[in-house]
Amino acid sequence: MIKGLSHIGLVVQDIEKQTAFYRDAIGLRLLHEREVEAPPDGDHTGVPGVRRKLVFMGDASGKELLELVYYIEPASAPGKPLDRSQVNSIHLCFDIDNLQGVYKDLQDKGVRFLRPPKVIQRPVGPVCLCYAQDPEGNWLEFKDEFGGQ
């Protein structure tokens, strides 16, 4: 039985740049990092002898939210960002207070947004939403359940 979502894992091309972005721009905390190597017969990844650097990031309470995965050996094949409507495209959604203020702050830090926050009326109450991309083109959603007020 599933109890909840543990974390999201993103394979990245530049582990330092992505770590800095999620720490300095988004505000996640660096919880821990490590380099791991699988035995010659493989591990849970199914790749014999794989070497990876893992960076775990979380919220202020220390809850793990994001795992950045950098494949050292074998190196990851280069990728390009997927269009947000393309199959296999994902987005990370962050709950935000005061999205209008966060939007301005993130813009000042160079975060690329699709468009400004928009308030959407729902039967359960308004929500303010907007999309951005991280430095490698992964989609990010920012959600303010209180309508961006």
Q: What is the pLDDT of residues 31-46, one digit of tens each?
A: 999 999 887 777 777 7
Instruction: Locate the domains of the chain by residue range.
Output: 8-73, 91-144
Query: Smallest Cα–Cα separation from 136: which of 82, 100, 58?
Result: 82
Give the chain's largest Cα–Cα span.
55
> For a pLDDT cut of 90, what percent of the chain falls above it?
67
Domain 8-73 bears CATH identifier 3.10.180.10: yes
What's the predicted TM-score (pTM) here?
0.88
pLDDT tens-digit profile of 92-131? 999 999 999 999 999 999 999 999 999 999 898 899 999 9
Matching CATH topology for 8-73 and 91-144?
yes
Q: In CATH, which of 3.50.30.20, 1.10.600.10, 3.40.190.10, 3.10.180.10 is domain 91-144?
A: 3.10.180.10
Q: Which residues of 39-75 are buried (b: 16+ CB within 10 A; e: fewer)?
A: eeeeeeeeeeebebbebbbbeeeeebbbbbbbbeeee
Bridging pattern class, strands 127-133 and 112-113: antiparallel
